[in-house]
Amino acid sequence: MSDDEEAVLAKWGSWDALYTYLARLVRELSPVVCGHHTPVPTVEVKPTWLARGLLGGQHSGADYEPAEGQRPAVIGLFPAVLTDEALLRLVVAHELVHHWEHLGAQGADELPSSDAAATIIAARFTNAQRERRWRSGHSSYFIAKASSVAATLGVQLRQLLFS
Ligand SMILES: [Zn+2]
């Protein structure tokens, strides 16, 4: 077992306890972010080497895979975010915004565009190429929805956008 997996076990006591917590967290947050009639994604813990491999060295806390055939949508979580409950909440909420968008971004047209988000995003990226890459995975709908979710959950938008 890797060091970061050991840290996860030390925090939760067992993988079962962690998965029980994660299932409860996603069941709590999914209706808040996606509405009550949206299928709730399953949650999977993924090994750290996968997070490093995916985006050419860029570390990632989580990823989202849409449903495919009989397989439900999956939120994949990497050990780096599994020892901090506040961070975990942000990361799961972020991935649920991807889920919401993938399922058709219901209500997106009613969301106000967020000046606060524009300021936060401009401050985050000093490198135009990095900003373009981030924006390629995070549409204006995603950003507007994240702004509304951050307000509902009482978390910082900057953290929700970039977790
Ligand atoms: Zn994202």
pLDDT tens, 54-107? 554 455 789 999 999 999 999 999 998 999 999 999 999 999 999 999 999 999
pLDDT-derived band of residue 26, with 50, 70 and 90 as boundaries? Answer: very high
User: Of 88, 85, 77, which is closest to residue 5 (Cα–Cα)?
Assistant: 77
Mean pLDDT in residue range 113-131: 92
Q: What is the pLDDT of residue 52?
A: 61
Domain region containing 52: 3-162
Residue 94 Cα to ligand 1 middle (Å) = 6
Q: What is the pLDDT of residue 56?
A: 47
Comparison of pLDDT for 52 and 46, the residue scoring more: 46
Domain count, the chain: 1
Residue with tokens 């997070």: 51
Dist. CA 10–CA 13, nearest whole Å: 6
Residue 96 Cα to ligand 1 middle (Å) = 9
The percentage of the chain sitting over the pLDDT mark of 70, rounded to a whole number, equals 94
Residue 147 Cα to ligand 1 middle (Å) = 13
Residue 138 Cα to ligand 1 middle (Å) = 6
Residue 32 Cα to ligand 1 middle (Å) = 18
Residue 57 Cα to ligand 1 middle (Å) = 16
Q: What is the mean pLDDT of the chain?
A: 91
Put the strands of the sheet holding 62-65 in their side by side order: 42-45, 74-77, 62-65
Q: Which of 2-6, 103-107, 114-118 has the lowest mean pLDDT?
A: 2-6
User: Of 55, 141, 41, 52, which is closest to residue 93 (Cα–Cα)?
Assistant: 41
Dist. CA 31–CA 33, nearest whole Å: 6
Q: Is the pLDDT of residue 35 over 60?
A: yes
CB–CB of 77/87 below 8 Å? no
Residue 122 Cα to ligand 1 middle (Å) = 17
